[in-house]
Structure 1
Amino acid sequence: MENPNPLIISAIVAMSENNVIGKNNQLPWHLPADLQHFKAITTPHTILMGRKTFISIGKPLPNRINIVMTKDHAFRAEGCILVHSIEEARKWAIDHHLKEIFIIGGSTIYQQWMPYLDRIYLTIVHDQFAGDTYFPALNTHEWQEITRETHPADAVNPYAYSFLELTKK
């Protein structure tokens, strides 16, 4: 019998044209439109991040359930749910009747969750950046672009960017 309430697993990520998503545990660009986009998509839902991403943010993101996935059983994150595996995270989400969770990084977490993703909300920053953290390469045979909005650079957003929604084929 098919699950009447399947859990949708989505990733949300901003990356440069050369797949960079971070440098020194920070975004290598400042793009206010992308931060607004991220907030609009993830609020009031559940987000899942790795320990390093949580540390770089410094606190739980407001108006969302924050799950931190870490192998470190001694790690504590006030105001967050802690899980230690994909299986534990999925079980928690299903037990709490969630419809969707958003994977928000970092690189290792995206890599681990890639086989389970149903959807990717992708911001492409139209420039090349130096970085030390990358989003995994997407297999174009596995993903279908559903929507794309392209925006030029402006006085507030110094880089051109595109918002894409991809679903698994």
Structure 2
Amino acid sequence: MTVSIIVAIGENHAIGKNNQLLWHMPNDLKHFKDITSGRTIIMGRKTFDSVGKPLPRRRNIVVTRQDIIIPGCEVVKSIEDGLALCKNEDEVFIGGGAEIYKLAMHLTDRIYLTIIHKSFDADTFFPGIDKSEWKEVKREDFELDEKNPLPYSFITLERQ
């Protein structure tokens, strides 16, 4: 099973503020949907709360220490517990937030990284990527357009 992080970050590694995304980039949302549809996504409870409902056409697993039931989701106590439920899948996605990314980094084989080419005022950040452990295998760069107000890049990294 390949464990893949999927994340969009600002140039300063910003991913959110007040449990909300910092930008509206339709092409990044489409990219996320295209990559994760029909797959399993593991996310933390705060990320689930920010989305507000299970992501459609995906198996949703929520990691939380709380003893709760979330309709339409499977709830687990750890990332490892979530991954154990997915042992027969070819690729599983880690969808945030910051603490989940940090805890999952050592388990991760691939990172689907969107960089929004701007620094943001944020309170939540993606952990650093040790460039000696990762190699860039794909990159697409885009300029701003009428729907996407900032330049951005889609980058795929694989563990070396």
Give TM-score scaled by structure 1 length. Answer: 0.93
* TM-align CA RMSD: 0.7
Hey, what does 1:79 align to over in structure 2? 72
Q: How does 1:83-98 map onto structure 2 within 5 Å?
A: 83-94=76-87, 97-98=88-89
Hey, what does 1:150 align to over in structure 2? 141
For residues 32 and 132 of structure 1, the distance between their equivalents in structure 2, rounded to whole angstroms, comes to: 23
Q: How does 1:32-43 map onto structure 2 within 5 Å?
A: 32-43=26-37
Q: Write out the 4+ residue segments of structure 1 that deviate beyond 6 Å after TM superposition.
A: none
Q: How far has the Cα of 1:100 moved from its partner? A: 1.1
- Indicate which of 81, 95, 106 corresponds to 1:115: 106
Structure whose CA Rg is larger: 1
Q: How does 1:126-137 map onto structure 2 within 5 Å?
A: 126-137=117-128
- Indicate which of 17, 30, 35 corresponds to 2:11: 17
For residues 15 and 90 of structure 1, the distance between their equivalents in structure 2, rounded to whole angstroms, comes to: 24
Hey, what does 1:3 align to over in structure 2? none
Determine if the alignment matches structure 1 residue 56 to structure 2 residue 28: no
Hey, what does 2:156 align to over in structure 1? 165
Give TM-score scaled by structure 2 length. Answer: 0.98
For residues 79 and 54 of structure 2, the distance between their equivalents in structure 1, rounded to whole angstroms, comes to: 20
Amino acid at match of 1:79: G
For residues 29 and 87 of structure 1, the distance between their equivalents in structure 2, rounded to whole angstroms, comes to: 30
Identity %: 51
Please tell me whether the aligned partners of residues 42 and 79 of structure 2 are also in contact (alpha carbons under 8 angstroms).
Answer: no
Please tell me whether the aligned partners of residues 24 and 148 of structure 2 are also in contact (alpha carbons under 8 angstroms).
Answer: yes
Q: How far has the Cα of 1:87 moved from its partner? A: 2.5
Q: How far has the Cα of 1:86 moved from its partner? A: 2.5
Q: Which runs of 5+ in 2 are unaligned?
A: none
- Indicate which of 86, 89, 92 corresponds to 1:101: 92
Hey, what does 1:124 align to over in structure 2? 115
Amino acid at match of 2:28: D
Give aligned pairs, total: 160
Please tell me whether the aligned partners of residues 41 and 94 of structure 2 are also in contact (alpha carbons under 8 angstroms).
Answer: yes
